[in-house]
Amino acid sequence: MLPASARELIESGALGHLVPINRDGSPQVSCVCVGFDGDELVSGHLRDQQKLRNVRRDPRVALSFEGTRIHPPGLKEYVAVRGRARVEEGGAAALLQRLAYVYLGPGVKFPPMDDPPAGYVLRTTVERVGGVGEWAAR
């Protein structure tokens, strides 16, 4: 479970850097808008993209989020999590709309289309937390 301070940083609108594992073992990096559903990190995806195919094959992922505060000895805070993800069909449009208010501002319509596809929700269970900030293990 994430400490409240790490959760606050993620909910501030910091873009997530999602890193699933490609078939050849190399990392694949994508920027994603991330929110919470209970204790799970969630992101919405309208199409079945490579990152989702990678997660279906190997659920191990990492996510990082950069904050704005400077911590001793002068490093910018960030949250780095490792966990296991799963792909759930449907629900992407509603999740993306909820996240749009955080990432893009009030009154924004996203996805900006009528009748968007159901898409996919990526759900990540956090197993380990690190980075620079109050949440980092010392």
Structure tokens at 46: 């309208």
**Residues 21-54: pLDDT tens digits?**
999 999 999 999 999 999 999 999 999 999 999 9
**Is 67 contained in some domain?**
yes
- Alpha-helical (H) ranges within 1-138 are 4-11, 50-57, 92-103
pTM of the full structure: 0.94
The total number of structural domains that make up the chain: 1
For the chain, the 3-state helix, strand and coil shares in percent, each to the nearest 5, are 20, 40, 40
Model confidence pLDDT, tens digit, residues 59-95: 999 999 999 999 988 999 999 999 999 999 999 999 9
Residue 75's beta-bridge partner residues?
71
Is the bond preceding 111 in cis, omega lying within 30 degrees of 0?
A: yes
The DSSP letter of residue 120 is: E
Residue span of the structural domain in which 20 resides:
4-132
Measured CA to CA in angstroms, residue 14 lies from 8, 49, 71 at distances of 10, 22, 17
Whichever domain contains 90, its CATH number is 2.30.110.10
Please check whether residue 138 lies inside any domain of the structure.
no
**pLDDT band, very low/low/confident/very high, at 130 (cuts 50, 70, 90):** very high
